[in-house]
Structures are given as C-alpha cells and as structure tokens.
Structure 1
Amino acid sequence: MSADILPVATSAQVRAYARRLVLRHPRALAGALLLHALAAAAGLVGPRLLGGLVQDVADGHAAVDGIALAIAGFVIAQAVLLRYAYYASARLGERVLAGLREEFVDRVLALPLSAVERAGTGDLVSRTSRDVGGLSSVVRFAAPEAMISVVVVVFTAGALLLVGPLLMLPCLLAVPAIWAVNRWYLPRARTGYLRENEAWATLTDGLAETVAGARTVEALGLQERRHRRADADIAGSWERERYTLGLRLVAYPVVTMSFGLQVTATLLIGGIYHVHGWASLAQVTAATLYVQQLAGPVERLLDQLDSLQLGGASLARLLGVATVPADRAPGAARPRPGQDAAGTRLAARDVRYAYRAGHDVLHGVDLVLRPGERLAVVGPSGAGKSTLGRLLAGIHGPRTGSVTVGADGCEVPLVELPLDELRGHVALVTQEHHVFHGTVRDNLVMARPDATDEQVHAALAAVGWDGPGPDAVVGSAGRELSPAQAQQLALARLVLADPHTLVLDEATSLLDPRAARRLERSLAAVLDGRTVVAVAHRLHTAHDADRVAVVEDGRISELGSHHELIEADGPYAALWRSWHGST
C-alpha cells in the first residue's frame, strides 16, 4: 500500500462517533426501541399459552378454542407492532445515514488538495463509493436488525427466567463456545475488512489510471504491463477477501452448532427436571419454545456482527478523512483580498519541496514576482515547473523556506491564509478541468456566487467563448463540451474570480496553437495590471512575457526577459532554437 494513503480512524473513534450519531435522534431511537419491545413482549405470550395448553391436555381439561384465539390475537398484535417498529427503525436509519453522508461530503471538500493528490484517485474513490455503500447497508439493515435482536434476546431471556430459573441452565452450555469464537473472530475481522478495503482501493486506483491513460497505454504499447498490474491487484484483493471468508467459515459453524445444542439440552435436561418433579410439563414446553425462539435473534445478532465489523471498517475509513491534518494554519494578521492589487506581490524565498521525504524536487528556489508582470516558467519535463506553480498558488506548502503574499511590511505566508482569502489573492488553472452538471452560468458563478448576468457575459467574452449560452445545461447528461471549451470555461471562471495573481499551468495546452495564442492575448487584455505566472511548454508564451524563469533540476537556472536570455545563449536560447526550428 502507498505510504500516503488517507488515514483510518481508530476503534475508539469509531465507537464514539457511532454513539454520537445514533444519540442525535433520542426521541426517534426511544420510539423505535419501545415498539420493538412491545412486539417482543407480544411474541412471548404465545409460547407461554402453548405450554399451558400442553399441560391442560396432559391433565385432561383443555380450553383449546379460547387459547387458540388468544395466541392468534397476540400473533396479530405482534405483526402490527413489528410493522410500525421496522418502519420507525428504517426512518431512524435513513436520518442517521443522511447526516453521515452530509458530514462525509463536508470532510472530503475540506481535504487539502495536496493530501488528495498524494493519496491518489483509487483510495478516495473507494471510500466515496464502496465504503459509503457498505455503510449504507449497515445503517439501513444490519444496525436495526442488531438492535431488534438485542431487544428480543433480552425479553426472551427474561421470559425464560420467569418460567423457571433452572431451565435457563441448558442455555448456558452454548455460551462458552459462542463467547470464545467471537473473541477470536471480531478483532481479526476488523483488521481483515480494513485490509480488504485497502486492497479494493489499490485495484480501483490501477483501473482508474488505465482508463484515464488509455490513449497513452495504447500509444506506448503498455497493455501487457497494465494487464499484469490489474491481475496483481485482483489477486491481492481476492487473497484478502479469502482471508475474511476463512474467518466466517470458522465462526459461523460453531455458532450454528451451539444453537442446536441449546434446544437439545433444554429438551433433555427439562425432561429430567420433569421426571424428578422439578419442572412442570408446561414449564418444559414453554422453555423449549423460548430457547428455540431465542436462537433466531441470537443467530441474527451474531450474523449482523459480521456486517457491523464490515461497517465499522468502512466507517473507520470515512472518519479517517477528517483526521488529515490541515495544510494551512491561519495567522493573526493577514493582508485582505480587497486591498490594492498594484501593491501586492508574490515571493518565494529559499523554497524546497519534496513529495517523498528525502527526495526534494525543488532546491532553494528564490523568486520575487513584480506586481502586474507576466512571468513565463519554462524548462524540460520533470524539471519542477508545475511543482513551483503549485507552491506559488498555495496548493502545497514548502518543506523549507516560504511563499508569501502582500505589500512591503505586510507579507504573510500563503499557508496562513484560509482558502477563501487565498483565492482572493492567487488562483491556479491547470490543463485538467471538470465540467459540473448544470448550466454554463452555474459552472461560472461558483467562483463568485454574487456575479451578475453582465459579469458572466463579460467573463465569457473575455476568453472568446464559442460554446452554448449561459443557460445551456452542460456536463453529465447535458451538452458535452470539447476539451478546448472546458478550458475556456475554467479560464472564464478565473476571470470572474478576479484574483490579483494567476498561475496558469499549461492552461491552454489542449487548444490548437492558433486558438491558444488568441486566447492568451485576450486574457492579457482582460488581466491588464494583474500578475500572471504561466507554466508552459509552448515558448511563444515566453516570448510575450515580461520575464522568463528557466527551471532545470528543481532550480531556476536563468531569469530575465526573452531577449536577454537569447543574448545570453544559455539553456533558454537552446530551448528556443529547438522549439522554433520544429515549428
């Protein structure tokens, strides 16, 4: 497993959260428990009446009709009560599940982007799909069934005690076996289900990578390698599922045999009691029926323990999302987003950054952006351009050094700014964009909810929008946008947000060169006076920039204007000649 997988909550945290979640609705919980208690009580009358009927028959004077009608009445009463009890439990379960889902969505949206990127797609997708789905089943079915079983077991045991304390002794014969097997099973099951879900996350991650990079896989002939990765992930998942299946194959037969032992022991020992005059025929009959009736809820309870273990593992993974440490610590004094952009600058000083401990990808980078300038960041693939862009946008915090924003005398590290303030200063646009289901306007105003129609139209016009109108539905189940239009939409959203500093990480890479150049020129006009950092591999961006920063091996090897660097005849001049000659 990846060392950067999202954390998992402890057993104590899961139990504490489960208690808080259920107790949020005390009246609904009390109502459901009361209905189940009444249903259980109604179900206990029948065996007692039937035991008395057997005794009366043995004594030669039985009122069969009256007892039969009474038994039928209590059976009907139990059925009605169970109907409303299950309905109350289902309503409570749905309310609990709704609250849990809302909290999980809030936790996911609050995750630092850097943590999401390190964890990978598979882990988060498996938590939002498999774990949420598994927990939904537990909340809807397993938890109510377990609660019902506990109520029925308590009432049935009480009724058995009232029939005759001696007749409870046979039931105790199965307790050591059931206790021992559950003591062995439960801790292993939790660990097994956690490992099973982790394996599923790895499998999901590999399949997502293969699907997302299908064209690259085909172009580079990587099909066999991806097949081997998928086969290995499936084998790992199967091995862990086989482990939990093995646990169940040991625990379930022991529990089932214990129930059969209880009924047999009650009949045998009850018969001995009756022969010696220690129990009446009515008591033995009622006790046997109660033990048989007790077996059902106890078996369901133990059966649901497995589902509860699976649900507990899922809940631990969902709650673990909330334990991801924040990547920023708001400071006391901060520059405000509304201050004059002309006096605000972004600065990186002695910045080092590592995705893995001991492996820096940036090495002592110093860069001070001039307010209102356009800086192009160029360099070979893997040099650290995008990493530097993300640090300048506040996505990542530096390992050492600082990235600050503000005017002279009022600079603050980006990591001390809450996200809403940070995005008022600097915003990042990459080559990867998502179009949300909704109208074009919905996709834009998420950057500025109070935007007017005029501002929306102006933002679209600024990027040369050639897609459908603002009221057109796009995204899933809507009108499909081309990659270029999706990028235009993201850039229009950026214009609407209106931060004073923009970081464009190859934001026009999916557009053809002519369209990209036209779009960048229109942005330059709209963003006049704003600071722009453009990470690009097309050097025409560098040609138009005020300054060019050349990044090589995690360091800025050159910094200056296009003409200055051409005259210096260094790495940038070599890149320019190579790129210009290929076009």
Structure 2
Amino acid sequence: MVGRALVRLLAADRRTVAAVVALNSLAALAGLGAPWLLGRIIDTVSHGGDGIDRLALGVLGCAVAQLLLTRSALAIGYRFGERTAFRVREQFVGRALGLPAAVVERVPAGDLAARGTTDIDAVANTLRDILPSMAVGAVQIVFIVSAVVVLHPVLGVLGLAGLSGIWFVTRWYLRRARAAYLAEGAANSVLADDLAATTSGARTIEAFALRERRLAAGHAAIAETRRTRLGTLALRSVYFPSVETSYAVPGVLVLLVGGLLYIDGRVSLGTVVAAVLYLRQLVGPLDGILIWIEQLQSSLASFARVEGLAAIPAAPPVVTEPPRHERIELAGVRYAYDEGRDVLHGVDLTIRPGERLAIVGLSGAGKSTLGMLIAGVDRPTAGSVTVGGVPIADLPPDELRRQVVLVTQEHHVFRESLRDNLIVDAPDDVLRAALKTVGADWADDLDRDLARHPLDGAQAQQVALARVVLADPHTVILDEATALLDPTAARTAERALAAVLDERTVIAIAHRLQTAHDADRVAVMEDGRIIELGTHDDLVAAGGPYAALWRSWHGGA
C-alpha cells in the first residue's frame, strides 16, 4: 500500500522527478572526470610528459560542474518535496474529515494528532530531503562503479566484491527495521494520547484523587516508548559500525591486487590510483544513502500510519432521496461496539413529529447509544433507523443537519472568529438573530477572536445552540446538554434551550426525572431494551420500573 502511494506521489509530479534524475546523471558524469584526469596526471608525471596544467584545469572544471549540477538538482528536488508534502497533508485532512463519525469518536485523539503532525512531518522530511539525496547518491554510485569496471575490469570486480558486505548487513537491518519503527510510532501515539487525556482531565484527577493511577499509566506509556526507542537504537548500533568497516574493504583489495599488477607491469600506476579514487568517491553517496535508508525506515513507518486512514472503510454512499416526512422510526435496532456484544437488543420505537420524548434508565442502559443512532452518528449493526422512510445515517451531512441535531454536554469552539464558529454561511443579521434567540447578548462582535478571547461554559453552549437555530432541524436530541454547567449557567442555558426547542420534535436523554415528567411520552430502557413506553402518569400508575425510579427520585414519597 505504501509503495503504491509513493509511486502515485511521484507520478503526480513526473516532470520534476525526470528533471531531478537528469541533473543528477549529468552531475555524476561530471564527477567521473576528476579521478580519471588525476590518473592521467600521475601517468604523465611518471613518463616526464607535459600538459599537466590543462589536466589540472580539467579537474577543476569537473568539480565546478558537478557542484552546480548537484545544487540545481537538490533545489528542484526540495521544491518537489514541499509540493508533495502539501499533497500528503491535504490528502490526510480530507481522509480524516471523510471518516465515519463513529470511527472518529472511537479513535484516540492523541493517535490521530500524532499521525497528522509527527508522522506527516517525517514524511515531508523524506520527500524534501531524503528522496532527492538518495536519487543523487544512487546515480553517482551507478556511474562510479561503471567507471571502475571500464577503467580496469579486474579492479572493478574486486571493488564490487568488497562492497558485498554492505549489501548483507543492510539486508539484515531492513528485515528488522520496519517492524521496530512501527512499534516505536505506535508507542509514541499511546504516550501522546495518555498525556492529552491526563492534561484535559486534570480537574477530575484532582477531585477523585487519581494522581497515582494516572502517574502509573504515564510511566507505563513512557516505559514502552523507551523500550521501542532502544529497540531501534540497538539496530542502528549494529548497522552503522558494520557499514563503516565495509567502506575500507574495496580500497584495500584494489590497492593489494593493483599493486601486484603494477609490479608485473600489467597496469599503470595512474590506473590504480584512479580506481582507488573512484572507490573512495563511493563513500560519500553510499554513506548518504545508508544514513537515509535508516531514516527512511522511520519515515516509511510514518507514511504507513498516514496512509492507514485510507484502509479504514469510508462512509457508505449517501442517499439522494429526501425524507418524505418527519417521523422517525426504529425497527429491530441492534448495536455493538467494535464487534463486541450487543448493547442494544431489538429496539422498536416510533417518534411522532412535534413530540417530546424522554428516554430514561440507569447508567449503562443504552440511552446515549440510542441517541447517537437516531442522530445518524453511526448506523445499527442490525435493524433500521429512518426519518421519512430514509436511513438517517445515509443522509448527506447538509441534509442530515436539517433533519436531526444532537446537542451534548461538550461543545467544541474553534480558535477562530465568532462568525466562523457559527459554521453556517449566512448574512450577519441572520447570525445575530440566531445568537439573540439563544440569549447571547454578549455576542455583539461577530469578528471576536475566540482564540484570544475564549468563552466560558455557558457562552460556548449558547454558540452551540445558535448553530442549532441556524441549521433549523425538525428534531433535536438532548444528551445531558447542561450537565457540566454551574446552576446559574445551567438556568441561562435552559432558557436558551426553551427558545431553540419551540415547535420542534425533542428527544431528551433524561438523567433528571423532572424532564420525563414534562415530556409527552417516556421510554424506559434497561440492558439495551425499551421495557416501558407511555405517558408519565400512565407509567406511574402502572407501578413498574419507571414508577420505582420516580419514587426513588422523590425520596420514596
């Protein structure tokens, strides 16, 4: 998968890639001239000839030409890398935004953040620095080895034989490096997620004396990160010393055998010197490539994690048929998280337009899961959830927002202006009217920078409710919408909610039974099933589970 993705990136800018290869080839050809000319100088001096000045100028000219061509190739390669890194970032953001909402809800925030920052930075570094440099080195190596073979076949074969040790140790390294770097990347993601969870939950940790538990979890994540990091360091500690030792072998072999051939008069001294210089020229590109290979393992592991989003099944194609009416129907709904056991078991329910339905039950009964399915955040593993005869989860995002909106206790505020946070592209008077509807009298400046002037909890909820007003859905689902607010802020939010909910269908996941008392109907859930359904008065009169909850809530009165 990673190889195909890399080929696609290269093909998207094939002309630039071709230019880089061409310039590198010319630079390598220019680099071949200097050792050959130095050999000619030695032979000329040995035989008492002249023309050394011209040969020396030729060496200088080759060096200057190689420098200019190489720098031009690297400059073009860097521009290619930056453009391609931009494509990778843009593709990643598009894929992340295209993930099914349920997948995003379950993916640890630290993991997605690590893929979108650390991993993409590693990929960008590869595309900007590693690939152009490896292209330069590879072309130089091919040309230099060819030059040694052409100069003297025996010495060329000896040089290649001396390089074989590098091939064996590199093969040993590559068989182990990919798994080691993937493990290191995964450990880094776990650590990032653990730190994010600890930081965001600092007040909860303090309130419930969870400090030792969170420290233990952090130490475990750090220990795993350290273990995987030491694993990759161990591979490098074997790889690089072995490679450095292998560099000297070709030159030693050529000097030994070339010296014997020179003594026998079968080769000139200049040829031996030129062959040794060529082989010494190999050290630079080989060293660069082998260092980049080591870094490439980390980068490819990062690329695999970035490309891994493509392996997540995308949301199914959305339906184009608009809902025929506003009635919501659930038939035989079952749901399980990550192929575990079912948390909803055959739920059947019809919600009439304009109705106020309260869903009650003990913690873990499946209330929030049911609300998530009705909101179209995920689809049931069996059965159907429809609005107007159309599956809710299959509606396009814009259409879904006009049908059903879920309001929870968590309201995300973007670090942008107030206008941008309202999401909907509408005239300023419409935006101000929506804010006024929810009682946001403080919101007079739509250009207020919420990064510099953050909102408190009540204000953030008013912005969230203004979004609901602008979306204008016929059904609103409330899941503990005011649970995190202090009493004063909660009363302000409830007044804003009353304005938003006027003349809409309301599904309230009720944790306070007063909400159920005021509803048109009450659905009582237990162990993922609706066990009672009716009006408050009828259920109290029936003396069943709801009546017991009501008596318990009223202290037995």
| Structure 1 residues 512-531: aligned runs within 5 Å | 512-513=486-487, 515-531=489-505
Structure 2 match to 1:225: 213
Computed over aligned residues only, the root mean square deviation of the Cα atoms, in angstroms, reads 2.2
Deviation at 1:561, TM superposition (A): 2.8
Q: Tell me, what secondary structure is at the counterpart of 1:378?
A: strand
How many residues of Structure 1 are paired with residues of Structure 2 in the alignment?
A: 556
Say if 2:418 and 2:450, in contact at 8 Å, map to a contact too. Answer: no
Quick one: structure 1 residues 467 and 270, their matched pair in 2 at CA, closer, same or farther if it must change by over 3 Å?
A: farther
Of 406, 418, 422, the residue aligned with 2:396 is 418
Structure 2 match to 1:546: 520
Deviation at 1:66, TM superposition (A): 2.9
Structure 2 match to 1:313: 301
Query: What is the TM-score normalised by the length of structure 1?
Result: 0.90
Structure 2 match to 1:88: 76
Deviation at 1:540, TM superposition (A): 3.6
Of 418, 421, 425, the residue aligned with 1:443 is 421
- What one-letter code is carried by the residue in structure 2 that aligns with 1:454? D
Structure 1 match to 2:322: 335
Counterpart-to-counterpart distance in 1, 2:544 and 2:4: 62
**1:356-376 Cα deviation digits (max 9, x unpaired):** 434222222222111111222
Structure 2 match to 1:434: 412
Counterpart-to-counterpart distance in 1, 2:450 and 2:119: 26
Say if 1:330 and 1:418, in contact at 8 Å, map to a contact too. Answer: yes
**1:69-113 Cα deviation digits (max 9, x unpaired):** 332232222222222221111101101111111111101111112
Q: Which moved more, 1:532-541 or 1:99-108?
A: 532-541
Deviation at 1:253, TM superposition (A): 2.0
| Structure 1 residues 222-301: aligned runs within 5 Å | 222-301=210-289
Counterpart-to-counterpart distance in 2, 1:555 and 1:217: 33
- What one-letter code is carried by the residue in structure 1 that aligns with 2:375? A
Of 19, 29, 35, the residue aligned with 1:31 is 19
Structure 2 match to 1:345: 327
Say if 1:439 and 1:470, in contact at 8 Å, map to a contact too. Answer: no
Of 497, 500, 509, the residue aligned with 2:471 is 497
Say if 1:329 and 1:415, in contact at 8 Å, map to a contact too. Answer: no
Of 526, 531, 546, the residue aligned with 1:557 is 531
**1:22-49 Cα deviation digits (max 9, x unpaired):** 1111111122222222222222211111
Of 381, 387, 390, the residue aligned with 1:405 is 387
Counterpart-to-counterpart distance in 1, 2:533 and 2:449: 42
Q: Which moved more, 1:533-542 or 1:433-442?
A: 533-542
Q: Which moved more, 1:265-274 or 1:144-153?
A: 265-274
Deviation at 1:327, TM superposition (A): 4.2
| Structure 1 residues 160-239: aligned runs within 5 Å | 160-239=148-227
Q: Which moved more, 1:500-509 or 1:93-102?
A: 500-509
Q: Which moved more, 1:242-251 or 1:516-525?
A: 516-525
Deviation at 1:269, TM superposition (A): 1.7
Q: Tell me, what secondary structure is at the counterpart of 2:49?
A: coil
Deviation at 1:133, TM superposition (A): 1.9
Counterpart-to-counterpart distance in 1, 2:31 and 2:446: 60
Say if 1:344 and 1:405, in contact at 8 Å, map to a contact too. Answer: yes
**1:549-572 Cα deviation digits (max 9, x unpaired):** 232322223323333334444444
Q: Which moved more, 1:499-508 or 1:173-182?
A: 173-182
Counterpart-to-counterpart distance in 2, 1:258 and 1:497: 68
- What one-letter code is carried by the residue in structure 1 that aligns with 2:448? V
Counterpart-to-counterpart distance in 2, 1:580 and 1:517: 21
Counterpart-to-counterpart distance in 1, 2:548 and 2:437: 34
Counterpart-to-counterpart distance in 1, 2:336 and 2:343: 5
Query: What is the TM-score normalised by the length of structure 2?
Result: 0.94
Of 122, 126, 129, the residue aligned with 1:134 is 122
Counterpart-to-counterpart distance in 1, 2:219 and 2:139: 46
Q: Which runs of 4+ in 1 moved over 6 A?
A: none
Q: Which moved more, 1:514-523 or 1:208-217?
A: 514-523
The question of 1:20 aligning with 2:14 is answered no
Counterpart-to-counterpart distance in 2, 1:140 and 1:239: 30
The question of 1:533 aligning with 2:507 is answered yes
Q: Tell me, what secondary structure is at the counterpart of 1:502?
A: strand
Quick one: structure 1 residues 420 and 278, their matched pair in 2 at CA, closer, same or farther if it must change by over 3 Å?
A: farther
| Structure 1 residues 103-114: aligned runs within 5 Å | 103-114=91-102
Structure 2: gaps spanning 5 or more residues = none
Deviation at 1:353, TM superposition (A): 1.3
Counterpart-to-counterpart distance in 1, 2:49 and 2:126: 50
Counterpart-to-counterpart distance in 2, 1:37 and 1:226: 56
Q: Tell me, what secondary structure is at the counterpart of 1:306?
A: helix
Deviation at 1:264, TM superposition (A): 1.3
- Identity over aligned pairs, percent: 49
Structure 1: gaps spanning 5 or more residues = 1-12
Deviation at 1:423, TM superposition (A): 2.5
Counterpart-to-counterpart distance in 1, 2:514 and 2:442: 26
Quick one: structure 1 residues 99 and 116, their matched pair in 2 at CA, closer, same or farther if it must change by over 3 Å?
A: same
Say if 2:44 and 2:52, in contact at 8 Å, map to a contact too. Answer: no
Q: Tell me, what secondary structure is at the counterpart of 1:394?
A: coil
Counterpart-to-counterpart distance in 1, 2:493 and 2:340: 40
Of 447, 453, 458, the residue aligned with 1:472 is 447
- What one-letter code is carried by the residue in structure 2 that aligns with 1:418? P
Quick one: structure 1 residues 575 and 470, their matched pair in 2 at CA, closer, same or farther if it must change by over 3 Å?
A: farther
Counterpart-to-counterpart distance in 2, 1:497 and 1:509: 23
- What one-letter code is carried by the residue in structure 1 that aligns with 2:532? E
Quick one: structure 1 residues 106 and 250, their matched pair in 2 at CA, closer, same or farther if it must change by over 3 Å?
A: same
Quick one: structure 1 residues 78 and 366, their matched pair in 2 at CA, closer, same or farther if it must change by over 3 Å?
A: same
Say if 2:458 and 2:493, in contact at 8 Å, map to a contact too. Answer: no
